[in-house]
Structure 1
Amino acid sequence: MMHIVLLFLLVVTDTASCQKVCSYQQVLDHLNFTRLNELYTSTRPVLDHTHLTVVNLDIFLYAILAVIEKTQTFIPFIWAVMTWNNEFISWDPSLFCGITQVSVPIDMLWRPDLFIYEMTEKDAAPHSPYVYVSHDGTVTMEDDLRVVSTCKMDVHKFPFDTQSCNITVGSAIHCVDEMRLVPFSNSSRATQFSLQVMQRQGEWDFLHLSVTSDTLPYERRVMERIIYTITMKRRPLLHVINFLLPILFFLCLDLSSFLISDHRGEKLGFKVTVLLAISVLLLILNDILPSMSNRTPLIATYCIVIFALMLLSLLETVLVTYLMEKDTVPMQETGTDEDHSLKVDWQDKQDKTTVLSCDRDGRRRVLPAYCDVTGGDRTCELLPITAQVSDITHQGGESQVLQQQILDQLRELENTVSHFLRRKDGGWQNPGYWTRVATKINAAFFVFYCVTVAVFLILMYIEWS
């Protein structure tokens, strides 16, 4: 009975003893972790100043928040993991019920003075208030960062461009003789993990995360740094639908304007309206692209060339309209137009006369017409068809069948003459030399316009692709 009681007391004593040391606070008390202990916060945590502090660094990409071409600003959201060794920290896990690591407030330990070279604004994201400390002195720090950094962008192929932005991490004061920066993960592992955790919604599609190390000589010291290069590709669908296609549609409208008659004023107004619409889209493009660029963006070339083609088309329309208007100028009351006019003679106030014309076969016809002279003004009209038929039938005395045939021929002749004769301000004039020149210019320019547009669009597609 006494043996049983003693065994029970030993078990209770061992259990109480284990519960006494199996707490994180016991570990901190053992290490003398306090906010006033300068041993852990004041200097680099090495027992000998010749020892190097090796900092292992990992950066993974969570999301691409924004890429602003106008100011060349890159804003990613990253997850950073750092580990280093504190030579003042160590304990035996077997004495503390197998506890291998504890979490302590971040301001109770020394931290590497790392910063991002490209960062332009202070990080406003909430930071983790704790770090993990292992029994062998390894300190692990994990934190989320919203980085607002500068990025040298090439928008030559906008909106089908691919951008590469750097996040360069280095120490502010420690050189390679005191602290070394080592990337914990290679490029392949960093890319793979970033693809797994990244939020893909947005304008940019993440492609690759490369990791490289180099040194930066500064006065008599050499600083080590790690460069994380984030490669991403723009998703162009939105810009294609909202910008490129509307300009292409306006170009098609300008091509279709060649079907509008040049004698009407609507063609000129239509082309001016389309040109103004392109000008509005150019203003929108000016807000998107950066002010400074090493090379002219292809989209700017695309817009300017199409704008120039439409402007050239407008000038061609003005020229064609001017040439056609020259044939509508009334003839002189006196004199003879040797090239394009019709010869009209009159004798009385209302006299029957003839108009000289040509049919489609090139044979000359003499058409009866009346000219009316009142107060010095002269107006001429073709003799009505019924009157012509009446004259012919009375003179020839033919039958009704012959009369009907003559009537049909005269109607066809009247349509032919009406196509060639114009009346303006009391004068008669046929579509002459300038109208034919304008028609040839319009046809030649249309062929040139179509070929130029096709070649230009093919070249733009090759450059963008």
Structure 2
Amino acid sequence: MEGGWFLMRGCFLCLIISLLLQGEGDTFTINCSGFDQHGVDPVAFQAVFDRKAFRPVINYSIPTHVNISFTLSAILEVDAQLQLLTSFLWMDLMWDNPFITWNPEECVGINKLTISAENLWLPDIFIVESMDVNETPPHLTAYVSSEGRIKFDKPMRVTSICNLDIFYFPFDQQNCTFTFSSFLYTVDSMLLGMDKEVWEITNTSRNIIQTQGEWELLGINKATPKMSVGSNLYDQIMFYVAIRRRPSLYVINLLVPSGFLVAIDALSFYLPAESGNRAPFKITLLLGYNVFLLMMNDLLPASGTPLISVYFALCLSLMVISLLETIFITYLLHMATSEPPPMPQWLHSLLLHCTSPRKCCPTAAQKGNKDLGLTPTHLPGMKEPVELVGKMPHPGKAELNGSARAQQEYKARKQHMVDLWVEFSHMMDTLLFHLYLLFMATSIITVIVLWNT
């Protein structure tokens, strides 16, 4: 009885040793009997297919090294409101399966095979920022080399989170991230690496990118941080994808028309204020600009406050200010031509100072007095010339002449006040126009400088 127990224990020990020796082998060589010129018998790989549920390693204490690279082949959409980037990627994965090896010389010179990916173990690599269901097409295949190197290419339509900054729209640049990591395998079971250099990924993406629309690829960088979830540590590779918007569409459809309308509004100051056509013209421009903003609203981002919105609000404010200036000048001219009030002394002195002749213009004195209505008959202390004739006026005629002279002096004083207020209105129109141009130039230059920073 005791001898039988020792015999059973010896058989069990031999079985364990044989299994361990088989597990410690370097490779699991595929039988080449299933290889011929017409293809490969699936039975030769059946043992490998049966193990697809398990991570293919000889020793489970050794992590599987998975090399990752990708190609950005299209930038489909950038949603500023939802902060999403939709792109099309070709994700390339490469790892070693030690149970798939064969000798090409014995297997009719076959060095590489294509095997359905459903029959192989695949690493559970995903993109952390992805916010959509994976739309990878089914029934993909993988390349398997005679050394056990597996290369799996997977096309993906990815909708990922991207922190978009639209302040500089339409001259904005965005920096989105693609973080590749594993769902289940920690750093003890899986380590991630690079199959290509970053510059190779960038050049390949630029060469084969399909969309030549609103966005262009600037560059790709990478980082290799570790992701800690509780007590588990996961390996990951983070790619920074820099893209830039092509602004030509928005410059032609938004900035240029807006600039034309503001320029026409500024040129409308050259319309005579007395004609009464300036205010209706400015009101028409203001209404046209509001219609333009309503029509172009679909081209602007639906969220945030981009700098271009500030620019449009500034242009609209300039048009409103110019309309208010026109209303003020029109009011002054109406007051001057209807019932001009007496001009204060300080305002009269200021007007004389602003219209005083320059030393380099000796003939400007008469012109300045003429513009202000300061003719000799309107100056204080001056009388109408008296005819030096020998006839004495009749008393009745003298009374009539005095009344006519008083009426004429009243009209002259009123005309003088009208001329003063008209001249003041023209001076204020010129001053406010210059201030308007200064404010407009300063504001537009400030916006352009902010766009260039």
TM bucket normalised to smaller: 0.7 to 0.9
Q: Distance in 1 between matches of 2:247 and 2:430?
A: 37
Q: 1:378-457 to 2 correspondence within 5 Å?
A: 431-457=418-444
Q: Does 1:259 find its partner at 2:273?
A: no
Q: Does 1:66 find its partner at 2:93?
A: no
Which residue matches 1:184? 195
Q: Distance in 2 between matches of 1:128 and 1:255?
A: 66
Amino acid paired to 2:329: V
Confirm or deny: 8 A CA contact 1:328 1:429 kept in the other structure: no
Q: Distance in 2 between matches of 1:24 and 1:51?
A: 37
Confirm or deny: 8 A CA contact 2:34 2:41 kept in the other structure: no
Cα distance, 1:200 vs structure 2: 5.3
Confirm or deny: 8 A CA contact 1:327 1:429 kept in the other structure: no
Which residue matches 1:39? 51
Q: Distance in 2 between matches of 1:110 and 1:275?
A: 67
Cα distance, 1:290 vs structure 2: 4.1
Amino acid paired to 1:263: E
Instruction: For residues 164-191 of structure 1, give each alpha carbon's deviation from its aligned partner in whole angstroms, at most 9, with x where no partner exists.
Output: 1111111111111111111212221211
Q: 1:85-164 to 2 correspondence within 5 Å?
A: 85-124=96-135, 126=137, 129-164=140-175
Which residue matches 1:28? 42
**Cα distance change, pair 217–21 in 1 and its aligned pair in 2 (3 A):** closer
Helix, strand or coil at the partner of 1:155? coil
Which residue matches 2:249? 238
**Which deviates the most, 190-199 or 428-437?**
428-437
Confirm or deny: 8 A CA contact 1:57 1:183 kept in the other structure: yes
**Which deviates the most, 65-74 or 48-57?**
65-74
Cα distance, 1:319 vs structure 2: 1.2
Flag the structure with higher helix content.
2
Amino acid paired to 2:446: L
Confirm or deny: 8 A CA contact 1:159 1:236 kept in the other structure: yes
Cα distance, 1:218 vs structure 2: 0.3
Amino acid paired to 1:270: F
Instruction: For residues 68-87 of structure 1, give each alpha carbon's deviation from its aligned partner in whole angstroms, at most 9, with x where no partner exists.
Output: 22322212222111011223
Aligned counterpart in structure 1 of residue 336 of structure 2, from 317, 327, 341: 327
**Cα distance change, pair 210–202 in 1 and its aligned pair in 2 (3 A):** same
**Cα distance change, pair 245–339 in 1 and its aligned pair in 2 (3 A):** closer
Amino acid paired to 1:193: T
Instruction: For residues 261-315 of structure 1, give each alpha carbon's deviation from its aligned partner in whole angstroms, at most 9, with x where no partner exists.
Output: 223343212212222333344445654444554xx42212211222212111111
Q: Distance in 1 between matches of 2:275 and 2:375?
A: 30
Q: Distance in 1 between matches of 2:293 and 2:79?
A: 19
Q: Distance in 2 between matches of 1:279 and 1:117?
A: 44
Structure 2 spans left out of the alignment, 5+ residues? 1-31, 345-368, 379-386, 388-407
**Cα distance change, pair 362–20 in 1 and its aligned pair in 2 (3 A):** closer
Give TM-score scaled by structure 2 length. Answer: 0.73
Q: Distance in 1 between matches of 2:106 and 2:114?
A: 18
Helix, strand or coil at the partner of 1:363? coil
Helix, strand or coil at the partner of 2:275? coil
Helix, strand or coil at the partner of 2:105? helix
Helix, strand or coil at the partner of 1:188? helix
Q: Distance in 2 between matches of 1:339 and 1:289?
A: 51
Give TM-score scaled by structure 1 length. Answer: 0.71
Q: Distance in 1 between matches of 2:169 and 2:306?
A: 7
Confirm or deny: 8 A CA contact 2:342 2:417 kept in the other structure: no
Instruction: For residues 415-457 of structure 1, give each alpha carbon's deviation from its aligned partner in whole angstroms, at most 9, with x where no partner exists.
Output: xx9xx99xxxxx9996244433322221101111112222222
Aligned counterpart in structure 2 of residue 198 of structure 1, from 209, 212, 216: 209
Confirm or deny: 8 A CA contact 2:80 2:302 kept in the other structure: no
Helix, strand or coil at the partner of 2:50? coil
Q: 1:4-19 to 2 correspondence within 5 Å?
A: none
Q: Distance in 1 between matches of 2:261 and 2:162?
A: 35
Helix, strand or coil at the partner of 1:464? helix
Q: Distance in 1 between matches of 2:342 and 2:117?
A: 104
Cα distance, 1:463 vs structure 2: 2.3
Count of aligned positions: 367
Helix, strand or coil at the partner of 2:65? strand
Which residue matches 1:398? none
Amino acid paired to 1:31: F
Helix, strand or coil at the partner of 2:332? helix
Q: Distance in 2 between matches of 1:454 and 1:338?
A: 37
Helix, strand or coil at the partner of 1:103? strand
Confirm or deny: 8 A CA contact 2:261 2:285 kept in the other structure: yes
